């Protein structure tokens, strides 16, 4: 299992990131995958495999390293859910964005990189991807069922690169009122496109997840692939 080490910009240490390269060696865009509350687990590694199959370099940083490095749990047991929510509560999103910016900067100079970088996040990572669209220089950002996106709408004017937002219309962790605000606020934005997936629950695209929805995942992933190819080459 390949990995790289990235220095934190605040001088507090360094963190690891899972790395998977495409089979065809050529200059390629990099997709920084942003983890859910379960850490860099098998679902994220499987997502990295899909990204590599598209012809991109996949990099998935361990954002929980400041709490506990190497978190790798699933959504299958009550104990794991409890631990995941504990990690979510302890996670510093400001520091997380700093670490993601450091990851994007490192990704631009990876061997085999063409210098173009995307972020693509899920759940907690979906929120962070939206924040990266507002706060970073990533070339494109993709948010899957991000939580609490309605409290990020005030900074939408800072979004100058493509931002694709996937919203589940039965999301148990993002109330309908908040989802509606995001859809309304992003409508007509020159750089943001939001899609709502009918009858889909939170984490509908989590590989082998309890809420996996094959139809919604296929449609969302197809849209993401098109956006990535357009932005990263």
Catalytic residues: 171, 202
Q: Find out whether 185 and 153 touch, Cβ atoms under 8 Å.
A: yes
Nearest C-alpha neighbor of 68 from the set 37, 108, 42, 34 = 37
Q: CA 191 → CA 50, 116, 194, 229, distances in Å?
A: 25, 17, 10, 16
Would you say 154 and 176 are in contact if contact means Cβ atoms under 8 Å apart? no
152: its two tokens: 């990020």
Measured distance CA(132)–CA(100) in Å, rounded: 8
DSSP three-state, residue 101: helix
Tokens in use for 80?
């794991």
DSSP 54-68: TT-EEEEE-TTTTT-
> Distances from the Cα of 141 to the Cαs of 11, 12, 177, 199, in angstroms?
26, 27, 24, 24
Residue 169 near residue 196 (C-beta atoms within 8 A): yes
Name the pairing type of β-strands 163-168 and 140-144.
parallel
Quote the tokens at residue 215. Answer: 């139809």
């Amino acid at each position: 299992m390949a990995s790289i080490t990235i220095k934190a910009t605040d001088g507090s240490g360094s963190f690891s990131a899972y790395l998977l390269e495409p089979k065809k060696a050529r200059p390629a865009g990099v997709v920084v995958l942003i983890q859910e509350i379960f850490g860099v687990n098998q679902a994220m590694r499987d997502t990295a495999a899909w990204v590599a199959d598209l012809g991109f370099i996949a990099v998935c940083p361990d954002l929980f390293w400041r709490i506990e490095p190497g978190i790798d749990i699933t959504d299958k047991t009550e104990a794991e859910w409890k631990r995941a929510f504990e990690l979510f509560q302890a996670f510093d999103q400001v520091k997380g964005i700093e670490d993601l910016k450091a990851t994007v900067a490192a990704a631009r100079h990876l061997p085999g990189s063409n210098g173009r970088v995307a972020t693509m996040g899920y759940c907690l990572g979906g929120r962070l991807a939206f924040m990266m669209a507002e706060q970073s220089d990533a070339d494109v950002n993709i948010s899957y069922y991000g939580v609490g996106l309605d409290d990020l709408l005030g900074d939408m004017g800072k979004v100058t690169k493509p931002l694709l937002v996937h919203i589940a219309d039965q999301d148990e962790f993002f109330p309908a009122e908040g989802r509606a605000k995001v859809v309304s606020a992003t409508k007509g934005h020159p750089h943001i496109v939001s899609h709502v997936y009918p009858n889909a629950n939170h984490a509908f695209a989590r590989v082998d997840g309890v809420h996996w929805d094959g139809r919604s995942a296929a449609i969302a992933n197809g849209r993401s692939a098109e956006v990535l190819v357009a932005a990263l080459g």
